[in-house]
Structure 1
Amino acid sequence: MPKIDESLIKKEELTLKAGTLKYSKKEMFRIAAFRKALRQGQIPGEAKAIRMVERTDKKTGNKYLMKLNPKKYPIPNLTPAKTPKYRQLKLRKSLTPGTIGILLRGNHRAKRVVFIRQVDCGLLLVCNPLTGCPPRTIDHKYFLATKMKLDVSGIKVPEEMTHTYFHNKKAENRAFQKALKKSSILGGDKPVRKAKELTPEKMAINKKLADQVADLIKAHPDPIFVRYMKALFKLGPRDYPHRMQF
């Protein structure tokens, strides 16, 4: 390769204040991921082109280096698609599909419900239509398991019942936080969260699962079992939970 006239190479002059970065942290991580992928051979051949290419001056014939236009040859975006990745929690040995437990938190606390299965996000899918508890998810920390169990192998859970089916409030939360910030700056009444309303489509999907659970509870051979599922869990003045056997 002939000698390159370094005076013809354009160098960018940085006029940054002390303590400031030329690139954002996001851009630096993106460039670092690109270089790592280059080393591991995960980038196709056309993306491995050198950013500085050799050119010849038509008048003098001297060789010089020219920087490629970053808009024409951008660094490929290696950031993965934002798909939710949930970690399946390891449940206790007492938590198996069909276990009857008591809810310890929420609007339906102290009610007995049937644990059907674990949703993709790791929460428990529970239901008991006899006490007005629709299909809902709850953390295993707030589920007190008992020794009573039912055979839920014949229950068909609708495919729509995933994490986003029960928890999809991002747009509502953003609108509420925006209105709350606006009211705190400009003054005025604080916004009130709207009550969650079930659409007819969701009510039909919930009914499919609730009817199956209700039929399973009513088909139990013990006649007192239905009353047991309808009763709320209460503690008297001399009841000690740590001495009880559930």
Structure 2
Amino acid sequence: MVKWYPTEDVQKVRVKRANKPARLRGGVSPGQILILLAGKHQGKRVAFLKQLESGLLLVTGPYKLNGVPLKRVPQAYTVPTSTKIDISGSDFSKVTDAYFAKEKENTKKTEEAFFAPKKEKKPFSDAKKAMQKSVDAGIVNKVADPVVKKYLKTKFRLRNGMFPHTLKF
């Protein structure tokens, strides 16, 4: 049993650590093809563009080839492959973490708002569509080899007799 209790509630001051983004894995470099392990685009192959300030990876399908838009992905959700493509023709320097921030809406919490039907998803803005097309155009034009294009279009799947620990990516 504790014999002494403080007379006032003293809250401990917790110091928040500065956000230290994860270092990029040794085998990952811009232009390398990665396989996504989770999410809506699980199993799809994407091109790595750069690491953002938050530590997340900026990847794209390209959208024209396999339907994967510009996305932020944690490193742990990817598997690097030995395939690389040339991404020097695309300009993605304007894409930052702020590019992916959602727009805030003024919502009032009332009874009417509670019982109102759900709002539909907003379509992507024209600026984001234009950015996606400009980034993809530089990449798709550089991928001239039809084998690499087909490689990007196909999903990665484990089949009978395939063991992940024996595969070489």
TM-score between the two structures when normalised by the length of structure 2: 0.77
Distance 2:134 2:103 in 1: 27
RMSD over equivalenced CA pairs, Å: 3.1
Q: Residue 55 of structure 2 aligns with which residue?
A: 122
Q: Which runs of 5+ in 2 are unaligned?
A: 1-6
Q: 1:95 to 1:203 in 2, by over 3 A?
A: same
Partner Cα distance (1:244, 1:103) in 2 = 16
Q: Which runs of 4+ in 1 moved over 2 A?
A: 18-21, 85-88, 151-155, 169-172, 188-197
Kept in 2, the 8 Å contact 1:86–1:122? The answer is: no
- For 2:88 and 2:9, the matched residues in 1 are separated by 61
- Answer whether contact 1:155 1:213 (CA < 8 A) is retained: yes
3-state SS, counterpart of residue 236 of structure 1: coil
More helix per residue = 1
TM-score normalized with structure 1 length: 0.55
**8 Å contact from structure 1 (residues 157, 209) kept in 2:** yes
Code of the aligned partner of 2:50: R
Secondary structure of the corresponding residue to residue 171 of structure 1: coil
Q: In 2, Cα distance between the equivalents of 1:171 and 1:19?
A: 40
Partner of 1:75: none
Q: Distance in 2 between matches of 1:171 and 1:224?
A: 43
CA contact (8 A) 1:88 1:120 kept: yes
The answer as to 2:165 corresponding to 1:242 is: yes
1:148 aligns with one of 83, 88, 104: 83
Corresponding residue of 2:3: none
**Which structure carries more relative contact order (alpha carbon 8 Å, separation 6+)?**
2
In our comparison, the structure showing a higher alpha carbon Rg is: 1
8 Å CA contact 2:89–2:142 kept in 1: the answer is no
Aligned-partner SS, 1:133: coil
Alpha-carbon displacement from aligned partner over 1:37-76 (angstroms, at most 9, x marks no partner): xxxxxxxxxxxxxxxxxxxxxxxxxxxxxxxxxxxxxxxx
Deviation at 1:216, TM superposition (A): 2.0
Please name the residue that 1:108 is paired with: 41
Distance 1:192 1:145, change over 3 A: farther
**For 1:97-246, what aligned pairs fall within 5 Å after superposition?**
97-128=30-61, 129=63, 130-159=65-94, 161-166=95-100, 168-169=101-102, 171=104, 192=118, 194-195=120-121, 197-217=123-143, 219-220=144-145, 223-246=146-169
Which letter does structure 2 place at the counterpart of 1:239? M
Shift of 1:88: 3.2
Task: Please tell me whether the aligned partners of residues 134 and 210 of structure 1 are also in contact (alpha carbons under 8 angstroms).
Answer: no
Stretches of structure 1 lacking an aligned partner (at least 5 in a row): 1-17, 30-84
The CA deviation at 1:89 is 1.7
Q: CA deviation at 1:118?
A: 0.9
CA distance in 2, matches of 1:162, 1:106: 21
Deviation string for 1:146-203 (max 9, x for gaps)? 01012323432141x110111x23736x95xx85xx78xxxx7698575353111211
* Contact 1:100 1:112 (C-alpha < 8 Å) held by counterparts: yes
CA contact (8 A) 1:99 1:150 kept: yes
Correspondence list, 1:45-64, <5 A = none
